[in-house]
Amino acid sequence: MIAIAVVAALILVALKMALSRKEVSETEEVRGPMIHMSGIYSIVRESPRKGLAALRPDETAIRRFLDGINEDINGAPIRYSEREALVKYWKAQVELNLQEIEKGDESGAAFYYYGYSWPCPVCNEFVAKGNFVTREEIYNYPHIIPPFHLGCPFMLNAHHGADIRLKGGTSESDMAPFFDGEKPPPIPDWINVVSLPAGAGK
Residue 120 binds Zn ion, judged by CB under 5 A: yes
Among 49-57, 76-84, 119-127, 176-184, the segment contacting Zn ion (CB under 5 A): 119-127
Q: Smaller CB distance to Zn ion: residue 161 or 186?
A: 186
Question: Please, which of residues 137-176 interact with Zn ion by CB under 5 A?
Answer: 148, 152
| CA dihedral of residues 103, 108, 110, 114 (deg, nearest 10) | 0
Task: Please report how close the Cβ of residue 85 comes to Zn ion at its closest, in angstroms.
Answer: 16
Q: Which residues pair with 176 in a beta bridge?
A: 131
- CA 10, distance to chain mean position in Å, is 59
Per CB under 5 A, contacts with Zn ion among 123-142 are: 123
Of 101 and 152, CB closest to Zn ion: 152
The CB-of-191 to Zn ion minimum distance in angstroms stands at 12
Omega before 147 within 30 of 0, i.e. cis: yes
Q: Which residue, among 110, 102, 152, 95, has the nearest Cα to 127 in the 3D structure?
A: 152
For residue 33, the minimal CB distance to Zn ion (Å) is 41
CB of 35 to Zn ion, least distance (A): 41
Q: Is 49 helix (H, G, I), strand (E, B) or coil?
A: helix
The kind and range of the H/E element at 180 are: none
Per CB under 5 A, residues contacting Zn ion are 120, 122-123, 148, 152
